[in-house]
């Protein structure tokens, strides 16, 4: 393996000079710089990262932890975060906890499981001297898993951190719920059913709050009977639609596209015309939403934006342009995607 020493010898200079040149320090004559760079290129010399990091004690690296890369929401955030880091000339190191892969969905209520995976990863990131961490949650919720004594600046993406030391960038679910309702109302709907997510889920609660604000604004009473709590899965959308349709709703808003798919199943089974007799509205803008028939009107998650903003925020902190203390949770709005599943009611 070729080293600075050898480069130095080949150029008849000292190792320090080579190092100075390689690190772009100014106190070097143009002639030697040229000579050395030449040789470096010729030999294909690669600095030894370990040696240099050990000596410098810093690495211009950002650690990105994904709770589960397999989640549909994760990769867009990840790629956007990486793009941002790249722009600012930080390298990234990706750690994948594979929580779903290992524990299906029994982990996010069980801090122990999460801790057991997370702590070693945090240690590893500390020991490779990353400057900061972006934690990409695989499941939206309030998060407590980051230890109080973790020293590195850390941004939580997609989940809400309650710890002030860890700012978060999350969906604006309240606005999302509000927008969905407003849209349905603008299309003439008044009796609206809701297929919500799991009841104690953060998305569920926030979206419901927004939805109630919209109803209140329009002086439409909120009828709890018209909210069915599903489990985010297709089947529960079917069951919810069944129950709500019996209550004469003209539209159903499903808190994700998969449950909307279940509502489609029900409508199809009963021969109910989607977008005519019954309007259906989704959430997430998953790929399935454009393949459902008729195309599902839904709300696009700003995943790339969340990822990008998380990285931006972290870099701002690392470079002293922003203080971690006065960083409130950032809420990023979704975007309505209109297709054909919501009819105009006269």
Name the site residues for DNA (rule: CB under 7 A): 1, 3-5, 12-20, 22-23, 26-29, 31-32, 47-48, 51-52, 54-57
Beta strand segments in the chain, E: 61-66, 91-96, 132-136, 142-143, 154-157, 160-161, 168-171, 192-196, 227-229, 251-254, 279-281, 298-300, 330-332, 335-337
**Residue 292 near which of its own copies, DNA, none (CB within 5-8 Å, type-dependent):** its own copies
Report the site for its own copies in 63-122 (rule: CB under 8 A). 69-70, 75-76, 78-79, 82-83, 91, 93-94, 96, 98, 101
Least distance CB 74 / its own copies (angstroms): 8
Distance CA(316)–CA(112), nearest Å, equals 32
Question: Which tokens hold the place of 108?
Answer: 């996010």
Nearest distance, CB of residue 42 and DNA, angstroms: 15
**Closest separation between CB of residue 186 and its own copies, Å?**
27
268 binding partner (options its own copies, DNA, none; Cβ < 5 to 8 Å by kind): its own copies
Nearest-angstrom CA–CA distance, 226 and 193: 5
Q: Of the candidates 243, 258, 335, which has an alpha carbon nearest to the alpha carbon of residue 292?
A: 258
Among 105, 293, 319, 338, binds its own copies (CB under 8 A): 293
The single residue among 43, 51, 319, 344 that binds its own copies, judged by CB under 8 A, is 51
Q: Give the interface size with its own copies as a residue count (CB under 8 A).
A: 38
Of 329, 333, 328, 307, nearest to 62 by C-alpha is: 307
Query: What are 150's two structure tokens?
Result: 């973790």
Q: How many CB atoms lie within 10 A of CB 344?
A: 11
Our CB check for its own copies shows the closer of 108 and 308 to be: 308
Identify what 23 binds: its own copies, DNA, none; CB under 5 to 8 Å per kind. DNA
130 SS3 class: coil
From the list DNA, its own copies, none, partner contacted by residue 19 (C-beta under 5 to 8 A by kind) = DNA
In terms of CB distance, is 7 or 192 closer to its own copies? 7
Phi, psi of 268 (to 5 degrees): -65, -45
Binding test (CB under 8 A) with its own copies, winner from 175, 203, 286, 339: 286
Indicate which single residue of 288, 336, 337, 345 sits in contact with its own copies (rule: CB under 8 A): 288
* φ, ψ of residue 296 in degrees (nearest 5): -85, 125
CA angle 330, 332, 337 (to 5 degrees): 175
Footprint on residues 231-270 left by its own copies (CB under 8 A): 234, 261, 264, 268
Per-residue x/- mask for its own copies, residues 154 to 183, rule CB under 8 A? Answer: ------------------------------
Among residues 6, 126, 300, 316, which is the contact residue for its own copies, using CB under 8 A? 126
CA distances from 15 to 18, 19, 54, 99 (A): 5, 6, 17, 47
Joined together, the tokens standing for residue 344 give: 């105009």
Q: Which residues bind its own copies (CB under 8 A)?
A: 46-51, 53-54, 69-70, 75-76, 78-79, 82-83, 91, 93-94, 96, 98, 101, 123-124, 126-129, 234, 261, 264, 268, 286-288, 291-293
């Amino acid at each position: 393996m070729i080293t600075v020493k050898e480069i130095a010898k080949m150029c008849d200079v000292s190792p320090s000079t080579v190092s100075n040149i390689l690190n772009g320090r100014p106190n070097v004559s143009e002639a030697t710089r040229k000579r050395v760079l030449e040789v470096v290129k010729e030999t294909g010399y690669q600095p030894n990262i370990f040696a240099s990091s050990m000596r410098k004690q810093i690495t211009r690296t950002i650690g990105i932890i994904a709770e589960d890369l397999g989640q549909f929401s994760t990769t867009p955030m990840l790629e956007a975060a990486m793009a941002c880091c790249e722009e600012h000339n930080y390298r990234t190191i990706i750690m994948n906890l594979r929580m779903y892969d290992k524990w299906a969905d029994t982990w996010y209520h069980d801090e122990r499981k999460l801790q057991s995976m997370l702590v070693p990863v945090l240690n590893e990131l500390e020991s490779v001297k990353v400057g900061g961490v972006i934690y990409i949650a695989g499941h939206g919720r309030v998060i407590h898993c980051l230890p109080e004594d973790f020293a590195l600046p850390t941004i939580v993406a997609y989940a809400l951190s309650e710890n002030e030391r860890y700012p978060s960038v999350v969906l604006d679910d309240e606005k999302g719920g509000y927008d969905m309702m407003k849209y349905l109302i603008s299309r003439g709907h008044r009796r609206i059913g809701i297929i919500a997510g799991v009841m104690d889920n953060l998305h569920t609660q926030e979206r419901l709050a927004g939805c109630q604000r919209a109803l209140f604004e329009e002086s439409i009473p909120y009828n709890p009977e018209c909210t069915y709590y599903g489990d985010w899965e297709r089947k529960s959308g079917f069951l919810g639609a069944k129950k709500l349709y019996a209550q004469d709703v003209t539209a159903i808003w499903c808190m994700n596209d998969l449950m909307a798919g279940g509502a489609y199943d029900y409508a199809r089974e009963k021969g109910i015309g989607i977008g005519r007799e019954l309007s259906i509205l989704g959430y997430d803008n998953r790929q399935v939403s454009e393949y459902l028939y008729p195309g599902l009107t839904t709300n696009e998650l700003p995943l790339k934006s969340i990822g990008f903003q998380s990285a931006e925020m972290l870099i701002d902190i690392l470079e002293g342009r922003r203080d971690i203390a006065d960083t409130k949770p950032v809420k990023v709005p979704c975007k309505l995607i209109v297709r054909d599943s919501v009819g105009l009611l006269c």
